[in-house]
Amino acid sequence: MKTINNLVICFLVFLFLYACSPANIVASGSGGAMVIAEGDRSMGSVIDDATIKVNIAAKFISSEDNLFVNISTIVLNGRVLLTGLVDNQEIRIDAVRKVWEVDGVQEVINEIQVGNRESLKEYASDLWINTQAKGLAAKAVGLRVVGYNFETIQGKVYIAGITSRPEQLEDLINAVKTIKGVKEIVNYVIIKEK
């Protein structure tokens, strides 16, 4: 019985870590684990990506530079998108180095910014933009929105995901462009052949 309880606890922790990117645990608690429902990714791919994400989180937690709190990770087919704000270039480089140490990582896209959030107002603005992006995306593409991840840093919206419908991606990007405060949209969505 104790073994079953331990397995259940491990599975729940695994889902929690996959569902919440490090910077979003407090900010939004996004439900990334729902990507399993997305038809453009296999269950094996989702599990591989979740394993990579958990291993990156473990490395970031053990870091002295608050990487777990300051950097958000999105993992899709072994591609790792890093976003967030750190104090200096050395921390930025160290984060990328730690990600490359994880088995299964195919590519690292480093969008970590050096600087700091100047005010609570800027942080709230990014959070508001991110929330609006998720809402407009759901309106534009419906349930397939679970295949996309959004991260906003200083008005710059990063979109990552996998789709086999480029026209749907175009609708999503056009919707996000209408959000007040969006300075730039960075598209890391993979277009998969049908």
Distance CA 17, CA 11 (A): 10
Residue tagged 């890093």 (tokens): 82
DSSP state of 33: G
Of 15, 22, 39, the residue nearest 147 (C-alpha): 39
Distance set, CA 122 to CA 135, 151, 154 (Å): 20, 14, 7
CA-derived radius of gyration, the chain? 16
Helices and strands, number each (H, E), in the chain: 7, 6
Mention every residue, 6+ apart, whose C-beta is less than 8 A from residue 12.
none
Taking only the tens place, the pLDDT of each residue in 58-97 is 999 988 888 888 899 999 889 999 998 888 888 988 999 9
pLDDT at 61: 93
pLDDT at 40: 64
* Average pLDDT value for residue range 120-145: 86
Let me know: does 49 contact 119? Beta carbons within 8 Å: no
Distance CA 53, CA 69 (A): 14
Distance set, CA 23 to CA 59, 76, 165, 177, 180 (Å): 15, 17, 29, 23, 22
Extract the runs of DSSP E, i.e. beta strands, from 32-172.
Answer: 71-76, 79-86, 107-114, 148-153, 156-163
Domain locations in the chain? Answer: 2-191
State pTM to two decimals: 0.63
- Residue 101 has φ and ψ, to the nearest 5°, of -75, -15
Taking only the tens place, the pLDDT of each residue in 1-51 is 555 544 444 444 444 444 443 333 333 334 333 333 344 667 777 888 899
pLDDT at 24: 33
pLDDT at 54: 94
Let me know: does 83 contact 21? Beta carbons within 8 Å: no
